[in-house]
Chain A
Amino acid sequence: MDILKTKNMTKSFGGVVANKDLSLTIEEGKITAFIGPNGSGKTTFINVVTGVHPITSGEIFFQDKEISKYESNQISRLGIARTFQKIRLFDNLSVIENVLVARKSFYKSGPISVVFNTKKFREEERQNKEKALELLDLVGLKDKAYESPKGMAYGLRRCLEIARALALEPKLLFLDEPAAGMTRDEFKVIMDLMLVLRERGITTVLVEHTMDFIKAVADWVYVLNFGEIIAKGPFDEIEKDPVVLKAYLGEE
């Protein structure tokens, strides 16, 4: 089963074509990795699919529904969550509030219920806080729930960003370089987390440079270069592919 499918997806910035006629599929329940040299269009791919950048041409289907023209917030509510290469947290909110922001679409109470503090609203607050704490527990941040994420260690901030993405109860999760800048131990935490998520049936798409990481978790790998797919397959095959080696290391 394919959860995501793109057809001739193209994204250009002025004259630069960052994604060129990408036609690919992401299999449900698996961990798919995107690798490729810097500037090969991996992050652009995530940005276009999640609606952060508008698509130039082509089509994107999520669970057979066309989402190419959707706004970022609509795509997120459909169940596509993401993290960013450069961590983007809400530093003016506490750790648990960061997670709660992504729970907003699960609230049914309108402004009137909020102002009158109705029982329904209080109950919703309680349930969503519980859910947020559960997610913080999963990423090991429960004891820091009421602290500010500002100034927290890099690895913890990354974990919080993942918890926030999971708060959307996503079916498809994009992680843009989750292991970048992490220590060996922190990296292990994220890797274990990804395996837990796979068990829970969440499809993960991963952009990463750390090959050990990909080798350990990825079920399928796409290799991009200059915005095009140059190779695909399980990591063991990709690793030996001469085209891939050439893209990474250059010609002899």
Chain B
Amino acid sequence: MKKKIIFGLIGLAVIFLFPIIDNNTYHLYLLNRALIHAILATGLVFLTGFAGQISLGQAGFYAIGAYSSAYFSTRLGLPIFLGIIIGIGISVLAGFLLSIPSFKLKAFFLSLVTIAFGQIINMLVVNLQPITGGPYGFFGIPFYHVGDYMLSFENVFWLLGVILLFTLYIMYKIKHSHYGRAMLAMNSDDVATETCGISTKKLKIAAFGFSAGLAGLAGALYAHLAGFLSPEPFTFFESSNFVAMAVVGGLRDMLGGVVGGIGLTLLPEFLRFGGWENYYLMVTSIIVIVIIIFMPKGLAPLLGNMFKKIFRVKSSNTKTL
């Protein structure tokens, strides 16, 4: 157990020192995007892998978080920090709303409702021009700063890393509590969960709220990183991309969202160079398909096992309690 913690800390240190070794601005921007996607995909792992619900409208919450934070910090001049909190808050409320159809609907039908939700938010982004800037975009969103000090891309990388770690910590604690057990139980059998004295409605509200909150947080973090918003990143295509991240990473794994979010953000960029410019998106999709077919549990459990073998870490019984 101690060995595991030491290796974990060394690994974290290497990751956190990365921006000092490679300070190419574009690489750092990509890494920051990757961390933001990791936060969002972690929310989906919670919603789908743990609680057994589906959302193909996650880009809707991403948009709500992004535009809310942009609006409150740019138009109303609130500090970025408050803008992000408001963005999360509004997303969580929207998540509560989207949980209502899940009381009655499952799987296929629920996913249709969530797609519709994503489309509605996308339409609002395009048409609510006074607030969102519509297709012309939302300009001049302030970059991360503390007072007059502008954060560098390195600083933002560290900030996002800490936020991601904190997110994982919260998710870990919840998973290993009475709430987490109830969510996993609901995932397995909701009738039996109800007869154990647990309101599955409340659990669904909480699960949608949590994952929507993380998507909103990711959106708000993106808005201040990019400085400019347009409707393109908030489409159904992006929603399905987010689901792909969670699935490829591993829906049942704590680190699934991290592996999938970072992996699927960086993979196309690796494939982009060296004469592959025309095909990189296609190749990315093929790789996703291959992973889903041959590794249905995702990459994270595989990487976990590799890690254990290489460092000969004895598997602890963290899985059961």
A residues within 8 Å of B by Cβ?
50-52, 71-74, 76-77, 81-82, 84, 88-94, 96-98, 100-105, 107, 109, 111, 114-115, 117, 121, 125, 128-129, 146, 164-165, 167-168
Whether the pair A90, B189 counts as a contact (CB closer than 8 A) is: yes
Whether the pair A101, B199 counts as a contact (CB closer than 8 A) is: no
Residues of B in contact (CB 8 Å), total 27
Whether the pair B196, A76 counts as a contact (CB closer than 8 A) is: yes
B321 in the interface, Cβ–Cβ < 8 Å? yes
Whether the pair A73, B194 counts as a contact (CB closer than 8 A) is: yes
Rounded to whole angstroms, the CA-CA distance of A128 and B178 in the bound complex is 10
Checking B169, B170, B181, B188 against A100 with a beta-carbon cut-off of 8 angstroms, the contacting residue is B181
Whether the pair B188, A93 counts as a contact (CB closer than 8 A) is: yes
Rounded to whole angstroms, the CA-CA distance of A100 and B321 in the bound complex is 11
What is the distance, in angstroms, from B170's C-beta to the closest C-beta of chain A? 5
Which has the most chain A C-beta neighbours within 10 Å: B174, B182, B196?
B196
What is the distance, in angstroms, from B100's C-beta to the closest C-beta of chain A? 15
B residues within 8 Å of A by Cβ?
169-170, 173-174, 177-179, 181-182, 184-185, 187-189, 191-200, 317, 320-321
Whether the pair A82, B195 counts as a contact (CB closer than 8 A) is: yes
Whether the pair B173, A114 counts as a contact (CB closer than 8 A) is: yes
Q: When A90-B185, A114-B179, A121-B177 are in contact, do A101 and B317 touch as well, CB less than 8 Å?
A: no
What is the distance, in angstroms, from A78's C-beta to the closest C-beta of chain B? 9
Checking A93, A111, A168 against B174 with a beta-carbon cut-off of 8 angstroms, the contacting residue is A111
Which has the most chain B C-beta neighbours within 10 Å: A50, A52, A102, A121?
A102
The interface residues of chain B lying within 8 Å CB-to-CB of A94 are 320-321
Whether the pair B320, A102 counts as a contact (CB closer than 8 A) is: no
The interface residues of chain A lying within 8 Å CB-to-CB of B321 are 94, 96-97, 129, 146
Whether the pair B194, A71 counts as a contact (CB closer than 8 A) is: yes
Whether the pair A115, B173 counts as a contact (CB closer than 8 A) is: yes
Whether the pair A90, B317 counts as a contact (CB closer than 8 A) is: no
The interface residues of chain A lying within 8 Å CB-to-CB of B188 are 90-93
Rounded to whole angstroms, the CA-CA distance of A107 and B173 in the bound complex is 15
Whether the pair B173, A102 counts as a contact (CB closer than 8 A) is: no
Checking B173, B196, B320 against A101 with a beta-carbon cut-off of 8 angstroms, the contacting residue is B196
The 7 tightest CB contacts between A and B, nearest first, are A72-B194, A76-B197, A102-B196, A88-B192, A94-B320, A77-B197, A105-B197
- Of chain A, the residue at the smallest CB distance from B177 is A114
Whether the pair A93, B181 counts as a contact (CB closer than 8 A) is: yes
The interface residues of chain A lying within 8 Å CB-to-CB of B194 are 51-52, 71-73, 76
The interface residues of chain A lying within 8 Å CB-to-CB of B200 are 73
Rounded to whole angstroms, the CA-CA distance of A97 and B179 in the bound complex is 12
Listed A/B pairs (12) with beta-carbon separation below 8 Å: A72-B195, A74-B199, A84-B192, A89-B189, A96-B320, A97-B181, A100-B181, A101-B182, A104-B178, A104-B197, A107-B178, A115-B174
Which has the most chain A C-beta neighbours within 10 Å: B179, B187, B192?
B192
The interface residues of chain A lying within 8 Å CB-to-CB of B191 are 52, 72, 88
